[in-house]
Amino acid sequence: MTLAKICTTLVMACAVTGSAFAAKADKPDKLLFNPDIAQQATLTMPSGEVVNYQAYEGIFYVKNVEDSVYQTLNIYVPENLRNGDSTPIFLRTYIGGYMATTAKSPSASDATGRALKEGYVVCIPGSRGANSTVNRDGKTIYTGTAPNGLLDLKAAIRYLRYNDSRIPGNAEMIIIDGTSAGGAMSALVGSTGDRPEYDEYLRKMGAAATSDKVFASVCYCPITDLNHADMEYEWLYGCTNTGVRHLTEAQIAISDELAAECPAYINSLNLKDDAGNAITADNYKDYLKTFLIASAHKALEEGCEIPDTIGIIRYAEKPNFGGAPGRGGRGDGRGAPSFGPAGAMPGFNNNTDYVTGIDLDKYLSYVASVTALKTPPAFDQYGVLIDTPTPENNVFGNPEGVPANFTDFSLRHRLHDSSAELGKDMVRRVYIMNPMNFISENAASVAPHWFIRHGAKDRDTSFLVPVNLATRLKNSGFDVNFFLPWNRPHSGDYNLDDLFGWIDSIVPNE
């Protein structure tokens, strides 16, 4: 390249990107990545393998830092980068309970250590949350009310992209991973890339003026769709109210009222199954059963014992099969199936022959017997039957730390005013904290790849929440890997072979 051409190219780059060069001319660019802070570090994996990496820690990702404890990120670059500068960046949020989290270092026991070992660049940002505060003029100010935690993650992503040419790895290939409230954040980041609804906030924070889209979203048990989660919980678990749930009359009344609102919501989603059939409130439970049956099937294939008492219906319990009763005979001449791994019995296919159905009420009672259900309303609880706020009431609270309702339903009950409505500002905050609002056919804001897991005995939110999220994404044309792993309670970053196998499959091999 000639000197004149280099100069022209540089000038053009500055003009187009407003890049570091341009900013440097007047004042220092606070968002410029400084490679000189690198520290050598090692991580010893459970196998004993030692991973060498460079650590860049404590980096502020916005210009106007409000909370210096939380608004930083750490970057980790393994010695053996998987794919040079094209290596994807694995971004793990440790948000839990909608609380604040500091930037962390990789852990050998979760997906961050595994990502590093696999040669991915790892980024672990901190973010503000329901419990983060600063002292301003002698007053305690809550800094992490919604949507601030989400904005912090978006700002961290923008920082990576803004510095893409300076940080190893490819900021066009960010894979975000989170669990529970962190899974909700992963779903939000994955569905709202570059949406204008967040622009003004991000501009005020001094986030880099660039894209916050991601390539893939990994959501373990996302606690999301918060403004419908109460009705979804009661519609599903209402069958246990007078049984294992032992609700009081007042609680049953609230449960029934909430459940009654759910069918209209389900129908409004216009979901379709894989064959293109409409899913409505009338057939929704059959649709849900297909996921639970698939989960039980896989567990049996892998050699799990499933008790006869929890509602999983096997061939032997079905009438008209003939042959000997009980587990053993099916009367079709193929002999007794095995509980063992697939293939243990030649000619018997556990995967298609074994589980024939599920008694959903019985199975839900089992789930509720393992971990007591939340009492109604499960999420927007504040002031309805008890005054105690949930993490969700706190995160929708105000900067003075006063919790808030985020549904008309609970607001009306708390105020004993059947015409009370959320204020405009709250309606907007609730809207931009719900990924379901941003997922539509081939929407540009939505990550192309999704990995969603919710344990088959996780009762922290209704199964409807992850099922609706996965189905809406699929219906909208996105690549979705969704499963309800058997016997799994509320947890994340498990079965990492499964996760990293999937990541390998979506990352182009160069």
Does 97 bind ligand DHB (CB under 6 A)? Our answer is yes
Q: Which of 144, 389, 391, 403 binds ligand DHB (CB under 6 A)?
A: 391
DSSP E strand stretches across 326-455: 355-358, 449-453
Which one, of 188, 219, 218, 180, lies nearest residue 97 by Cα?
Answer: 180
Q: How far is the CB of 320 from ligand DHB (least distance, A)?
A: 43
Which one, of 179, 250, 211, 135, lies nearest residue 490 by Cα?
Answer: 179
CB burial string 40-64: b at 16+ within 10 A, e below: eeebeeeeeeebebbbbbebbbbee
Q: Which CB sits closer to ligand DHB, 150 or 299?
A: 150
Q: What's the distance, CA 126 to chain centroid?
A: 17
CA distances from residue 298 to 254, 350, 360, 439 in whole angstroms, order as listed: 37, 8, 18, 29
x-or-dash string of contact with ligand DHB, 437-466, rule CB under 6 A: -----------------------x------
Q: How far is the CB of 184 from ligand DHB (least distance, A)?
A: 8
Q: How far is the CB of 460 from ligand DHB (least distance, A)?
A: 4
Kindly indicate which of the ranges 95-103, 111-119, 332-340, 469-477 contains the residues binding ligand DHB, using the contact rule CB under 6 A.
Answer: 95-103
Does 96 bind ligand DHB (CB under 6 A)? Our answer is yes
Does 469 bind ligand DHB (CB under 6 A)? Our answer is no
Does 181 bind ligand DHB (CB under 6 A)? Our answer is yes
Does 223 bind ligand DHB (CB under 6 A)? Our answer is yes
Spatial separation of the C-alpha atoms in residues 93 and 103, rounded to whole Å:
9
| 101 torsion bin: left (phi>0), alpha (psi -120 to 50), beta (else) | beta
Q: How far is the CB of 461 from ligand DHB (least distance, A)?
A: 7
Q: How many residues make contact with ligand DHB (CB under 6 A)?
A: 8
For the chain, what is the largest distance between any 2 Cα atoms, rounded to a whole number of angstroms?
Answer: 89
Q: Which CB sits closer to ligand DHB, 213 or 374?
A: 374
Does 180 bind ligand DHB (CB under 6 A)? Our answer is yes
Kindly indicate which of the ranges 35-43, 96-104, 197-205, 285-293 contains the residues binding ligand DHB, using the contact rule CB under 6 A.
Answer: 96-104
Q: How far is the CB of 314 from ligand DHB (least distance, A)?
A: 32
Taking the chain, what is the end-to-end CA distance rounded to the nearest angstrom? Answer: 27
Q: Are 86 and 510 in contact (CB under 8 A)?
A: yes
Q: How far is the CB of 492 from ligand DHB (least distance, A)?
A: 9
CA distances from residue 125 to 38, 56, 65, 155, 354 in whole angstroms, order as listed: 17, 12, 14, 10, 45
Question: Which residues in this chain contact ligand DHB in the complex, by CB under 6 A?
Answer: 96-98, 180-181, 223, 391, 460
